[in-house]
Amino acid sequence: MILEITSGEQEVLPGPRLFNMAKIKLKIDDREIEAEAGTTVLEAAKAVGIEIPHYCYHPGLSIDGNCRMCLVEIEKIPKPVISCHTRVAEGMVVKTQTENVKKMRNSVMEFLLINHPLDCPTCDQAGECRLQDYYMQYDRIASRFAEEKVHKNKMVDLGAGVMLDQERCIACSRCVRFCNEVSKTGELVLANRGDHVTITTFPGKKLSNPYAGNVVDICPVGALTSNEFRFKKRVWFLSKTESVCTGCSRGCAIEIHFEASKVYRLIPRFNPQVNSYWMCDEGRHGFHFVNENRILKPTKNGVEISASMAISYLAGEIKNLSPASLGIVAHATLSNEVLSILKELGTSLGTQVFFSRNEPHNPLSDHFLMTKDKNPNQMGINHMGFKPLSELTQGQSLIVINGLSKKDGELVTQKKAKVIALFSANESELSKNCSLVFPIPTFAEQNGHFTNGDGLVQAFKAAFKPRGESKEIGVYLHMLLAQLEDKKPRVAFGI
Ligand code: SF4
Ligand code: SF4
């Protein structure tokens, strides 16, 4: 069942409500606003575009209220209060810009920066560091601290590809709460007190959960960095595109961070219907196939040729085959758009369309996001009604789109089938042995939709142009059908 199409452009959507929440009227900085009962002052302000600075608050975690950066003044309350923990009330009057509030923010910043090292020129967080940003927005006061800063260990390998710089940590406890509340593995703890406080793992333990990379995303400073990303690229050089993870049938919403046709990292994008604020490490690290091992030009028997020549060879082969002796194999990693084109091609040529899919591997499914089905679009394949490859007949000729799983490759050999053309983004055993090979773009280079395991259709967007001479399947198939004189294209294949 198809539920709905999301563009993936959600800001903060309200979660499911069991009943209508009462509306509360209050004033924030002289603006009259309405907020649902139970909303915190910080969230109510954010909803109307009033930013209250904060470090320890994160909408996906419990409230800790330890950083004190979100202090505000509220009429009739004698002391300043933390807005991340204070709920809205009828008639409340909140002030976020008074002289007192500004002084308090300056004091918090001064306190946090006393022992913070001046690492900014070499710190990976530079450009997306809350200490830097808030210093410029709310502080800009020279340090009065003349003593030696407290020094701590600057390279602690926490495990799971996460590196800790103890000196940079502001003890906000976001990473601790993530491990306690989200991954539910509890590996991290704040040890010691005062200026000796530090994040550490329990004795003899490492950070080792399959969602550990999220602690790097939520660390508001450069204390936690990813081994995969650190020192690779300054973040201000990176562009961002909204996409969907292809690692399994969950279809987590992600952002692709890239520069000049190279992907540097994937980070989760908030989607309350699928993954909230998180993603798994397998999906996070699963982008290298976009950068590496790419097929960039069409080849015939290993020799580079033009796309039009390669298409002529393929048209020649098809003309010599009966529709029953030809088959098309679509992969469960292809978009709904490509799958419909292949269905249309099958109908035009009168041939069967089969499917191949990634096989399950460890880690399998778990209590949280990861699913056993390691294909982003098996549901799309099911909707098209393509046949499993086990229904292949002996000696059939095949046009394969996006590769074959190991098991399906063995099946093809067993049935003495012949792959006459392969359309693929990456090199493989199959591409080395196939006589006609066509380069196609990866998910990062095209627009499309995947239908996740729950039937949710989600859009993904092209981050950059197809690499090398890769062309979208629709373009190739339009060229192909134009050459098959007696089989005119019934549709323009999306171009
Ligand atoms: S390592 Fe980062 S997320 Fe963890 S407590 Fe320190 S500053 Fe907060
Ligand atoms: S759970 Fe699946 S879709 Fe989500 S990040 Fe992991 S591999 Fe990607």
Protein residue with its CA nearest to atom 6 in ligand 1: 169
Q: Which atom of ligand 1 is nearest the CA belonging to 172? A: 8
**pTM score:** 0.92
Ligand 2: centre distance to CA 248 (Å): 5
Copy the structure tokens of residue 60.
Answer: 């996906």
Q: What is the pLDDT of residues 60-70, one digit of tens each?
A: 999 999 999 99
Ligand 1: centre distance to CA 354 (Å): 49
Q: Which atom of ligand 1 is nearest the CA belonging to 171? A: 5
For 283, the enclosing helix (H) or strand (E) is helix 281-284
Q: What is the pLDDT of residues 19-52, one digit of tens each?
A: 457 899 999 999 999 999 999 999 999 999 999 9
pLDDT at 199: 97
Domain residue spans in the chain?
Answer: 22-97, 120-288, 299-483
- Exposure pattern of 433-455 as b/e (b: 16+ CB <10 Å)? ebbbbbbbbbbbbbebbbbbbee
pLDDT at 486: 52
Q: If you average pLDDT over residues 275-287, what whole number do you get? A: 97
Ligand 1: centre distance to CA 169 (Å): 5
Torsion angle, alpha carbons of 474, 477, 479, 485, to 10 = -140
Q: What is the pLDDT of residues 301-348, one digit of tens each?
A: 999 999 999 999 999 999 999 999 999 999 999 999 999 999 999 999
pLDDT at 485: 63
Q: What is the pLDDT of residues 133-191, one digit of tens each?
A: 999 998 898 889 999 999 999 999 999 999 999 999 999 999 999 999 999 999 999 99
pLDDT at 20: 55
* Ligand closest to CA 169: 1
Ligand 2: centre distance to CA 241 (Å): 17
Asked if the model's pLDDT at residue 7 lies above 50, the reply is no
Cα gap 404→108, rounded to integer Å: 57
pLDDT at 363: 73
Ligand 2: centre distance to CA 452 (Å): 11
CATH number of 120-288: 3.30.70.20
Place of tokens 């199959």: 430
> Which residues, 6 or more positions from 76, have their beta carbon under 8 angstroms from its beta carbon?
93
Asked if the model's pLDDT at residue 10 lies above 60, the reply is no
pLDDT at 361: 84
Our answer on whether the CB atom of 370 is closer than 6 Å to any ligand 2 atom is yes
pLDDT at 22: 86
pLDDT at 484: 86
Protein residue with its CA nearest to atom 8 in ligand 1: 172
Pocket test for ligand 1, best of 224, 225, 277 (most atoms within 8 A of CB): 224
Q: If you average pLDDT over residues 448-473, what whole number do you get? A: 97
CATH number of 22-97: 3.10.20.740
Copy the structure tokens of residue 486.
Answer: 């007696």
Mean pLDDT for the chain? 92
Our answer on whether the CB atom of 280 is closer than 6 Å to any ligand 2 atom is yes
Ligand 1: centre distance to CA 220 (Å): 7
Our answer on whether the CB atom of 283 is closer than 6 Å to any ligand 2 atom is yes
* Ligand closest to CA 370: 2
Ligand 2: centre distance to CA 245 (Å): 6
* Ligand closest to CA 58: 1
Q: Are 285 and 254 in contact (CB under 8 A)?
A: no
pLDDT at 16: 39
Pocket test for ligand 2, best of 217, 245, 367 (most atoms within 8 A of CB): 245
Ligand 1: centre distance to CA 173 (Å): 5
Copy the structure tokens of residue 488.
Answer: 């005119």
Domains 22-97 and 299-483 in one fold: no
Place of tokens 């099958």: 346
Q: What is the pLDDT of residues 103-139, one digit of tens each?
A: 999 999 999 999 999 999 999 999 999 999 999 998 8
Q: Which atom of ligand 2 is nearest the CA belonging to 280? A: 6
Angle of CA points 157, 283, 422, to nearest 5°: 130
* Ligand closest to CA 284: 2
Asked if the model's pLDDT at residue 8 lies above 70, the reply is no
Our answer on whether the CB atom of 251 is closer than 6 Å to any ligand 2 atom is yes
Cα gap 99→146, rounded to integer Å: 27
Ligand 1: centre distance to CA 51 (Å): 21
Least confidently predicted of 142-151, 371-380, 432-441:
142-151
Pocket test for ligand 2, best of 183, 211, 280, 456 (most atoms within 8 A of CB): 280
Protein residue with its CA nearest to atom 3 in ligand 1: 219
Q: Which atom of ligand 1 is nearest the CA belonging to 164? A: 1
Q: Are 352 and 327 in contact (CB under 8 A)?
A: yes
C-alpha gyration radius of the chain: 27
For 377, the enclosing helix (H) or strand (E) is none
Q: If you average pLDDT over residues 220-228, what whole number do you get? A: 97
Classify 299-483 by CATH class.
Answer: alpha beta
Q: Which amino acid is at 397?
A: S
Copy the structure tokens of residue 470.
Answer: 């890769």
pLDDT at 367: 84
Q: Which atom of ligand 2 is nearest the CA belonging to 284? A: 5
Cα gap 90→214, rounded to integer Å: 37
Asked if the model's pLDDT at residue 274 lies above 90, the reply is yes
Copy the structure tokens of residue 136.
Answer: 């410029």
Ligand 1: centre distance to CA 493 (Å): 50
